[in-house]
Amino acid sequence: MSTSSTTPTQSSVTTAPVTGTGGRFGGSLGPVGLVLAGGISVQFGGALAVTLMPRAGALGVVTLRLLVAAIVLMIVCRPRLRGHSRTDWGTVVVFGLTMGAMNGLFYASVDRIPLGAAVTLEVLGPLALSVIASRRAVNLVWAGLALAGVFLLAGGNFSGLDPVGVVLALGAGSMWAAYIVFSARTGRRFPQADGLALAMAVAALVFLPIGLAESGTKLTDPVTIALGAGVAILSSVLPYTLELLALRRLPASTFAILMSLEPAIAATAGFLILDQALTAGQSAAIALVIAASMGAVRTQVGRRKAVPEV
């Protein structure tokens, strides 16, 4: 994808207002809070998805996640189908295809390599976007600091991993970067979460034949459906809605660096929920990533204060 077609400008990311109930919720929590809440939800959903894979397969889990999320969002949002331009529909279709590819590649990678390594590799996509989208040299420092933390969290060594799993995780990272761009574009073109609901429906329809081919009747088991619904709510409905609202008021470069918190959140959740102790190196990695994210946010806040209102 060329930089000219995917790099959002400062003005384009922050012009669309947030309206309706979602806007009031987003205003009370703040864009950074929305991103963090979405990250926490994704990690709990990811843990549930890992337990579901033996029952439904990696692609089967993706299918359930997308399908249930699409149904929930279409019912809740009831998006208007008429009155949209060809460009609007093109944006939402590409957004849906990006979501489907991102989820499919990531779950396929987790089926081959450890979850922590997969998340660490995937987050390189948003980090790369932060460098490309930013127009300030200081953001290169924050991106570099976050990147150092990501590699430190992984132990600084990816040797011994399944090469196919590594490639799949990197592919998921590239789709994550594209997701950030098209989520912002969709949020500007559709009110509230209407565009997200339509994009999720596109992703579910495209992925349904793939999931059926791998898992077949396993997807009709009531327990599997219930677990898949939980994965859909935690990993798709809540985080995607929160991130879409955040991207209406947060530059893509800052958002991309905040995405580097994902491995840190995963490590913290493992410590609190799974009783997985953190090493000194992992704790230092989390500190680096958090410092980079805080620096990016402070830089953006300082830039807004420096620009006089007109």
Provide the sign of the torsion angle of the four alpha carbons 101, 103, 104, 109, taken in this order. positive
d(C-alpha 205, C-alpha 211), whole Å: 10
The burial class, CB within 10 Å (0-12 / 13-18 / 19+), for 242 is buried
pTM over 0.85: no
Lowest mean pLDDT across 45-59, 74-88, 132-146: 132-146
Domain locations along the chain: 31-305
Provide CB contacts within 8 A for 308, sequence distance 6+. none
> Residue 19's pLDDT is what?
37
> Residue 276's pLDDT is what?
58
> Residue 198's pLDDT is what?
93
Give the model confidence (pLDDT) of 40-79 as tens digits: 888 778 777 877 888 888 888 889 889 988 998 899 888 8
Across 11-25, 81-95, 151-165, which has the greatest mean pLDDT? Answer: 81-95
Question: What mean pLDDT is reported for the chain?
Answer: 76
d(C-alpha 96, C-alpha 84), whole Å: 16
Give the model confidence (pLDDT) of 245-301 as tens digits: 787 777 766 776 777 677 777 767 667 665 656 677 777 877 777 777 777 766 665
Cβ pair 185, 95 in contact under 8 A: yes
Higher pLDDT, 161 or 238: 238
Lowest mean pLDDT across 102-116, 169-183, 225-239, 284-298: 284-298
Give the model confidence (pLDDT) of 190-202 as tens digits: 887 788 899 999 9
User: Nearest CA to 262 among 77, 105, 137, 117?
Assistant: 117
